[in-house]
Amino acid sequence: MDLADATWTDVRDADPEVGVVPVGSTEQHGPHAPLGTDAMAAEAVAEAGVEAYEREDDDATVALAPTIPVGVAEEHRAFAGTLWVSPDTFRAYVRETAESLASHGVDVVVFVNGHGGNVDALREVTARLTRDGTAAAAAFTWFDVVDVDVPMGHGGGRETALLRHVAPHLVREDRVEQAAAGASDRWGDWVAGVNVAHDTDAFSANGVVGDPRDGDAATGEAMLDDAADALACVLDALADRTSD
Ligand SMILES: [Zn+2]
C-alpha cells in the first residue's frame, strides 16, 4: 500500500508489518540523464519489489513510504542543480522515518537505495535500528544486486538503461554521444591503491563514469525484474526473522 495514496484508516485496517522506504538523491547524472535518476530508480525498484512480494504472499501488506529525494551527495557539488545534506542529517532523517513506521506496528523496514553515497549511512542506521529492537532493518541498493553485463559507473550504462525502461522521455538520447566522450572510465583518481579524489569533477569533466551507450530498455527491464525479485527475497527473509 502506497502511504501517500492511502488514508490513515486504510493503514490502521491493513496493519502492515513490513515497511519499504525508497531513498534517492538529486544530483548530476551527466548531460544526458536527469538529476532525479537515483530517486526514480529507487522508487521503480521499490514498487516492483513490493508488488512481487505481495504477489507471493496474499496476506502480506507492505507500507510503501514516499521516496526520500535528497541524500549524501556533496561529491557532486560542482555540478549545477545537485542537492545534498550532511551524513548526520541524512542518518537522523531516515532513522526517524523508520522509527515512525515502527511506532505503527511495522517491524521490518527496508530502505531501497539508488545512490552509492547513501550506502555507508544506511548501513549504520539499519544496524542501529536492528540492534535497538526498533525493527529488523536492511539497506537494499539496487545496482549492487542485479546481475547484468553492463558496468555500474555513474550516469553510465546501468543507470541509463534502467531509465530507458522506466522514464525514457527523460533520457536525452541526442546527448549520449557527448556524455560518453566526456566520461571517465572509473570512479575516482587512484594512486597506489588510494583514491585521492573526493569530488566527481576531479576525475570526470561532465560527471559521467562509464558508457551510457551501453544497455538498452530491455536491459533496463531485466534489471528491474532482477532487483524486484531480490527485494522480495529480502523482505521475506526479514519477515521470517520477526515472525518467531
Ligand atoms: Zn545515480
Task: Measure the CA–CA gap between 14 and 122, rounded to whole angstroms.
Answer: 27
Q: Within a domain: residue 3? A: no
Task: Kindly state whether residue 169 falls inside one of the protein's structural domains.
Answer: yes
Characterise 8 by phi-psi region: left (phi > 0), alpha (psi -120 to 50), beta (else). Answer: alpha
235 lies in some domain:
no
**158 CA distance to ligand 1 centroid (A)?**
9
Task: Give the domain extent around 220.
Answer: 8-229
Residue 13: partners with Cβ closer than 8 Å, 6 or more residues away: none
Cα(43) to centroid(ligand 1), Å: 13
Q: Are 58 and 75 in contact (CB under 8 A)?
A: no
For 137-194, write each residue's pLDDT tens digit: 999 999 999 989 898 899 999 999 999 999 999 999 999 999 999 999 999 999 999 9
Instruction: Compute the distance from residue 212 Cα to the ligand 1 centre, in Å.
Output: 12
Angstrom distance (rounded) from CA 82 to CA 37? 12
Classify burial at 74, counting beta carbons within 10 Å of its beta carbon; exposed 0-12, middle 13-18, buried 19 or more.
middle
Overall average pLDDT of the 67-90 stretch: 98
Q: Residue 155: which region, alpha, beta or left (left: phi > 0; alpha: psi -120 to 50)?
A: left
Number of structural domains, the chain? Answer: 1
Given this model, what pLDDT does residue 80 score? 98
* Residues 38, 4: Cα–Cα separation, whole Å: 20
Q: Is 236 a domain residue?
A: no
In a domain, 241, yes or no: no
Work out the mean pLDDT of the chain and round it to a whole number.
96
CATH of the domain at 147: 3.40.50.10310
In this prediction, residue 57 carries a pLDDT of 80
Cα 179 to middle of ligand 1, angstroms? 14
47, part of any domain: yes
Looking at the domain assignment, is residue 2 inside a domain?
Answer: no
Q: Does 243 fall in a domain? A: no
List, for residues 32-52, the tens digit of each pLDDT value: 999 999 999 999 999 999 999
What pLDDT digit, counting tens, does each position of 90-106 carry? 999 999 999 999 999 99
Cα(244) to centroid of ligand 1, in Å? Answer: 37
